[in-house]
Amino acid sequence: MKHCLALVNANRVLFNDPDSKVGSAAGDCFRRLESQSLEAFGELIEAYCRNAAYEANSFSLLHTLEESVEKLPGIVCMACEHFLLRFGKEASDIRTHRAADGYGIPKLAFRVYHQHQRDEWASRALDVIDRLCEVSVGETFAQLQEFDR
């Protein structure tokens, strides 16, 4: 756990760097977490989503979340919310790279909802799903059908 806190504190500084290339490179730290439980890294995910570094490199975090086989922390809702807030319109246009970045957002939202049905994250996940339906990002409607089964 001490290692986790050191990683969070070090990367917070890098996420806030005025050079967007530094923040983007700092976001690559998520790739090193792919095989680990992400529950312990909720603060790191939150710090990243709140900074401009997420705008420069949302893919690293989103890809890591999608590839994780562990239970996702509820804070993943924030990653989805911030992505939709910043890039929702752009992500609904398949001609943009944001559409590719946002392709997995519906899966993440449904997964968080499924994994957190009995806690405070369920309602936030449902809000994200509602927003996804409004802006038509990724395979939202396919995920709705899949979940409905």
Return the half-sphere exposure (C-beta side, CA atoms, 13 A cut-off) of residue 58.
Answer: 26
Q: For residue 4, is pLDDT > 70?
A: no
The per-residue DSSP string of 85-130 comes to HHHHHHHT-TTSHHHHHHTTHHHHHHHHHHHTTTSTHHHHHHHHHH
> pTM for the whole thing?
0.82
Q: What is the pLDDT of residues 15-33, one digit of tens each?
A: 777 777 877 787 888 888 7
Q: What is the pLDDT of residues 72-130, one digit of tens each?
A: 999 999 999 999 999 888 888 888 888 888 888 999 999 999 999 999 999 999 999 99
Is the Cβ–Cβ distance between 64 and 31 less than 8 Å?
Answer: yes
Return the half-sphere exposure (C-beta side, CA atoms, 13 A cut-off) of residue 127.
Answer: 14
Q: For residue 66, is pLDDT > 60?
A: yes
